[in-house]
């Protein structure tokens, strides 16, 4: 019987015959900090002298259309990279994992699985609460409330969030921020602080910028905020919530934003002087939602209402965030709008396939609550009816491997300790127009440890809740947000 799936491979070194010219071309798509690649031989091997744990592999097509397997270390962060840095255009910067070997944010606290699930669940519960209780009226707070860019995976907010470096003010000061498609407001911590958490970079002092100006609380930008108010001097105040306990408060200001080589004047963003909850050690948020205060909306004339990203598959890999352009070979599905949540990006998930077998479900099970595409949520959250069908078929196709105890909300886990090779069923997410994403292995299994490797999907409380497509299931795709033409696209092999 044929099995449609992916292969995990555990030997430390694998020698493979392949077309060398194709491999060099394929490596042009990859930026990595984890393996030494010898282009003069037929081996992909760990760097000599480094301690390497057990590993897994992935396949890539050769010129004859067959699949060859490459080896990567299970403990990827322990291996170094020796690939030449690829050039970037003026609108692009690299995206890397906060805790990986490419990151400048060293000595960070690495979250446990408990932290990962708590933060992810908190964000999804807040999103579901917004969907169920959203209002369209103004929400005023009291006056007493005092191109490509490098992106990295960060363990805060949604835990597996990705970070980029942007510049603010004149002269330019650089800050590391999470980019978030689920919010509009861009903000960074500012002096003087009422309550600021520790961050790697010096906190922004707007008074030291020659291009800084305050914003009046009667301005159009101020009243676009979800929660706004007036200070005693009639300047605009904001309050931005990400979960019930993760909140940024401060003043809305105007200054220059540097994105890659572009200096963009008169950008409105938050100057957070009272920030509570868990933000990790990043300096703030880059808001890429659909509202008027989003960077996308504020830069329409420059970037034509389009942005794209590719989220890397692991902490030692490099992705990108790009404003104003899109990759070639992308297939588009309509971008939908939820009137209750106008800043979020919605699409229509119509089917799911596991190992070549579509789940026996009506498309209406997805279209009822709606499907939200979110860069800040880690796992994909599915209605119970959908999740049960997915889990059952996945388990049927994984009967060769012993199950392991559940890992929090992940109830389909396996002990792969005694296996050198594992065949994992392919999972396809299929959107309106038969636009299909064939998930990377890192979007199917949470590879925490070989003795407890789990299906990376989570069950919602009931079928009325939103489907949320998390960033684990977006890895390695070119994801294009063409806001002007109301479409979202997916392309393959956008990054490694």
Pairing of strands 43-45, 36-37: antiparallel
Annotation says 180 is catalytic: yes
Annotated catalytic residue: which of 374, 440, 478, 482?
374
Annotated catalytic residue: which of 120, 154, 180, 283?
180
Q: Please write down the long-range contacts of 226-235, taking CB distance under 8 Å and 24 or more positions apart.
A: 226/139, 227/139, 227/140, 227/141, 228/139, 228/140, 228/141, 228/252, 229/140, 229/141, 229/142, 229/143, 229/145, 230/143, 231/143, 231/146, 232/143
What residues are paired with 446 via a beta bridge? 454
Name the H helices within 330-416.
364-367, 384-396
CA dihedral in degrees (8, 495, 452, 153; nearest 10)? 160
Angle at 54 between CA 68 and CA 7, to 5 degrees: 30
| Structure token digits, residue 437 | 């994403």
d(CA 477, CA 493): 6
The H or E element containing residue 39 is: none
Annotation says 482 is catalytic: no
Omega of the bond prior to 118 within 30 degrees of 0, cis?
no
Identify the CA nearest to 72 among candidates 48, 53, 85, 88: 53
Residue count (the chain):
496
Residues assigned a catalytic role: 180, 374
């Amino acid at each position: 019987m044929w099995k449609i799936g992916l292969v995990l491979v555990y030997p430390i070194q694998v020698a493979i015959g392949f077309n060398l010219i194709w491999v060099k071309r394929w490596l042009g798509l990859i930026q990595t900090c984890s393996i030494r690649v010898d282009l003069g031989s037929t081996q992909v091997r760990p760097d000599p002298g480094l301690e390497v744990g057990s590993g897994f592999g992935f396949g890539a097509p050769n010129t004859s259309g067959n699949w060859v397997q490459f080896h990567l270390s299970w403990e990827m962060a322990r291996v170094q990279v020796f690939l030449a840095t690829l050039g970037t255009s003026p609108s692009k910067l690299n995206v890397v994992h906060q805790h990986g070997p490419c990151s400048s944010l060293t000595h960070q606290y690495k979250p446990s699985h408990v932290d990962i699930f708590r933060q992810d669940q908190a964000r999804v519960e807040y999103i579901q609460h917004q969907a169920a209780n959203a209002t369209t009226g103004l929400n005023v707070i009291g006056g007493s409330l005092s191109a490509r860019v490098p992106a990295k995976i960060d363990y805060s907010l949604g835990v597996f969030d990705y970070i980029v470096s942007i510049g603010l003010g004149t002269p330019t000061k650089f800050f590391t921020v999470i980019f978030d498609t689920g919010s509009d407001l861009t903000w960074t911590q500012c002096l003087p602080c009422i309550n600021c958490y520790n961050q790697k970079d010096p906190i922004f002092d707007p008074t030291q910028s020659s291009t800084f100006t305050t914003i009046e609380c009667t301005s159009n930008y101020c009243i676009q905020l979800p929660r706004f108010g007036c200070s005693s001097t009639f300047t605009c105040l904001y309050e931005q919530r990400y979960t019930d306990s993760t909140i940024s408060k401060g003043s809305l200001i105007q200054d220059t934003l540097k994105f890659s080589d572009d200096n963009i004047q008169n950008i409105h963003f938050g100057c957070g002087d009272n920030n509570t909850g868990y933000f990790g050690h990043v300096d703030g948020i880059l808001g890429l939602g659909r509202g008027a205060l989003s960077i996308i909306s504020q830069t329409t004339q420059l970037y034509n209402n389009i942005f794209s990203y590719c989220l890397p598959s692991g902490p030692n890999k490099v992705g990108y965030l790009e404003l104003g352009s899109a990759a070639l070979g992308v297939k588009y599905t309509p971008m939908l709008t939820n009137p209750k949540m106008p800043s979020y990006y919605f699409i229509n998930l119509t089917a799911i396939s596991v190992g070549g077998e579509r789940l026996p479900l009506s498309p209406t099970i997805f279209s009822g609550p709606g499907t939200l595409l979110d860069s800040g949520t880690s796992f994909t959250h599915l209605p119970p009816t959908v999740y049960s069908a997915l889990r059952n078929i996945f388990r049927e196709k994984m009967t060769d491997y012993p199950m392991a105890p559940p890992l929090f909300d992940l109830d389909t886990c396996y002990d792969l300790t005694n296996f050198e090779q594992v065949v994992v069923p392919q999972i396809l997410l299929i959107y309106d127009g038969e636009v299909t994403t064939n998930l990377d292995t890192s979007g199917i299994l949470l590879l925490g440890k070989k003795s407890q490797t789990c299906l990376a999907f989570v069950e919602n409380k009931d079928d009325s809740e939103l489907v949320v497509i998390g960033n684990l299931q977006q890895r390695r795709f070119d994801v294009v947000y063409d806001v002007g033409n109301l479409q979202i696209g997916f392309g393959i092999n956008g990054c490694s």
